[in-house]
Structure 1
């Protein structure tokens, strides 16, 4: 595995990190056997950085990693987790949550402890209650080795935070569609100039840049003499930046692990050709024209008090425009979000504008307003009538089909 050295502390970090936010699941919970295999396979192939956080998988991600990262396995990796900043009201809260996380992770120390989802407002509040004093005390006691932050705000706020403390590391969202969003390229280079290790999240923009892609995007990638998957292209672009220490990928399948390891081993800084970089520009133009809502599917907005599946609402809406499949998208919206083929109604029309999701969204999307757009366009007039007919006609047919299928 390609290693990239952090100048400040000398740590040699694998170019690819394992993100434990999107582990494989079964019946709504982490599929422990499948997830353990993915983590162990990654470590066996040289991945030595594992990233998690207090809320991932409903709080189960840290506990799962604590179970499987023991003894020699724990010594092979740098473990990163994050202070749940939204729960912190006073100094004692920071002490409490760190102890909880150490217990869940079954470890005496955390290699990289980041303040989660930091922005200008939350940063000012944390400073007032002594966040730096707490972090330095925890570091002096050996409970954490390196201090950092994950970031979701604008580049000016990012620079202010970088300049406010002698950070060891930061975690930013970065991919070829987000060069000027949040910290962006400007923030990446700025942090690097301050000798701060820069870790990258959302290199595939929540999967938008991988898997099935719009036809025009596929044609552009097809111009290259070297054939690569969309995910390969996306990871390659991020790893091409010499300022990047490690790209954290949420790998939920064995094929993701294999492909990502292959790319991470191949791509050295500044290795992309001019012709390849031109292809990225063309692809970016297509996505910017087609994509209506800049959602990565991170799920921070969930759960919705009204039961709306916000990420899926936006995913289906984007799918309609990215793939020019209005009829299919309408059926998906009716069937999956209307509750015909699911456990209940979770569609955009249930939103009452309470605004709880606004504070949680890293992309700063006006979620209630966007849900209104989705509801109007995907549900439209007579949506309740469509649901009634669908449940009366489609659901029995679907259930009968599933019953027959299970016999074979």
Structure 2
């Protein structure tokens, strides 16, 4: 794959070349860094802080051309030290595509597989989860989450049993709208899941009111969906240049700007932007490299974005 470097990287290459390193060596060094990790509170296990969502992006059915591109997306995720792949039976063929593609990768067992249960009833839930595990090629699933809290009272019982039996390593709950944050908090307090997944972005910060605090208090890992607010953040900055001061924080694209803001919140365990493009996967992963903005810079980032 041809690698295109930005101005900052070209400068670094020239310096390294000046001390006698070959381009091949320099290229290896450029990608030696691994993405930031955060601990899963319930176990202490380290989890890469940038992962991959598969909603829409991996729903490609049997298309060999699209599957080839998605395989490269997975390779870029792994190359930067990423691991989390989040899917759902709601996402069409995504689970099957993930399972088929990862089965061909020599690092398949180094990935962290997450999916969801999205149905009502105990029997239906068990059948759906077993089908998801088969589609994704897993005898043990890393994480199963209750998608949008559908029949959560029923599925909690099954997931707790499955964790005790070793069929899953972790269980969690999810939603994607601010109005459900209170429900997520209530379930965290009563059921103590390992993970909670919810919406959060630089201009959608409702979770900062109390959801993050509740997750931290009860030792629950956080997965962030909709980090780009459904693409609206990119529409807002279309045609706009990054301010010069972002280079101080290793921010070289608007995507990194948005993700670095999320990762600069220490209560975030992992963000899962979705993509079907290898160069976007590279850009996303680079948000987890280098300096992470401090609190003053976080507020500066918000202020600048609102001014556009």
TM interval, short-chain normalised: 0.7 to 0.9
Quote the offset at 1:237 in angstroms: 0.4
Matches within 5 A, 1:182-221: 183-210=207-234, 213-214=237-238, 218=240, 221=242
Aligned length: 267
Deviation at 1:193, TM superposition (A): 1.9
Within the candidate set 265, 274, 283, 2:296 is matched to 274
Quote the offset at 1:277 in angstroms. 2.3
CA contact (8 A) 1:24 1:253 kept: no
Q: Deviations over 1:322-342 (max 9, x none)?
A: xxxxxxxxxxxxxxxxxxxxx
Q: Residue 41 of structure 1 aligns with which residue?
A: 76
Name the structure 2 match of 1:78: 112
**Aligned mates of 1:149, 1:223 — CA distance in 2:** 39
Determine if contact 2:38/2:47 at 8 Å carries over to the other structure.
yes
Tell me by how many angstroms 1:92 deviates. 0.8
Instruction: Please say if 1:100 is aligned against 2:131.
Output: yes
Instruction: Provide Cα deviations, 1:305-350, integer angstroms capped at 9, x if missing partner.
Output: xxxxxxxxxxxxxxxxxxxxxxxxxxxxxxxxxxxxxxxxxxxxxx
Q: 1:41 to 1:168 in 2, by over 3 A?
A: same
Separation of aligned partners in 2, 1:230 and 1:165: 38
Cα distance in 2 for residues equivalent to 1:108 and 1:245: 25
Structure 2: gaps spanning 5 or more residues: 1-33
Q: What's the C-alpha RMSD, in Å, of the aligned pairs? A: 2.5
The whole-number CA distance in structure 1 between the counterparts of 2:238 and 2:100 is 40
CA 1:231–1:166: 2 relative to 1, 3 Å = same
Q: Is the 8 A contact 2:73 2:277 kept in 1?
A: yes
Contact 2:227/2:272, CA 8 A, preserved across alignment: yes
Closer/same/farther in 2, CA of residues 28 and 106 from structure 1, 3 Å limit: closer
User: Partners of 2:302 and 2:112 in 1: how far apart?
Assistant: 32
CA distance in 2, matches of 1:178, 1:282: 15
Q: Are 1:163 and 2:185 an aligned pair? A: no
Unaligned runs of 5+ residues in structure 1 are 287-408
The answer to whether structure 1 residue 61 and structure 2 residue 94 are counterparts is: yes
Give, in whole Å, the separation in 2 of the partners of 1:103 and 1:24. Answer: 17
How far is the alpha carbon of 1:134 from its aligned partner? Answer: 1.1
Partners in 1 of 2:60 and 2:98 — Cα distance? 17
Offset, 1:79: 0.4
In 2: Cα distance, 1:35 partner to 1:247 partner: 19
Shift of 1:176: 1.0
Q: Give the Å deviation of 1:25.
A: 7.3
1:281 CA displacement:
2.2
Is 1:222 matched up with 2:243? yes
Q: 1:75 to 1:280 in 2, by over 3 A?
A: same
Task: For 2:70 and 2:253, locate their aligned partners in 1 and report how far apart those are by CA, in whole Å.
Answer: 23
Structure 1 or 2, whichever has the larger Rg, is: 1
- Shift in Å, 1:26: 6.9
The reply to whether residue 6 of structure 1 matches residue 6 of structure 2 is: no
In the other structure, the counterpart of 2:278 is 254
Identify if the C-alpha distance between structure 1 residues 72 and 175 changes in structure 2 by more than 3 Å, giving closer, same or farther: same
Please, which of 150, 153, 161 is the counterpart of residue 137 of structure 1? 161
8 Å CA contact 1:240, 1:267 repeated in 2: no
Please report how far the alpha carbon of residue 106 of structure 1 lies from its aligned counterpart in structure 2 after TM superposition.
Answer: 1.5
TM-score of the pair, normalised by structure 2: 0.78
Contact 2:58/2:94 (CA < 8 Å) preserved in 1?
no
Distance 1:24 1:105 in 2: 12
1:102-127 per-residue CA deviation (whole Å, 9 max, x = no partner) reads 11112101101100012xxx4xx442
Q: Which residue of 2 aligns with 1:15?
A: 49
Q: Which residue is 1:389 aligned to?
A: none
Could you tell me how far 1:74 is from its partner in structure 2? 2.6
SS in 2 for 1:207: helix
Q: Secondary structure of the equivalent of 1:249?
A: coil
RCO comparison, higher one (Cα < 8 Å, 6+):
2
Say if 1:133 and 1:24 are closer, same or farther in 2 by CA, change over 3 A. Answer: closer
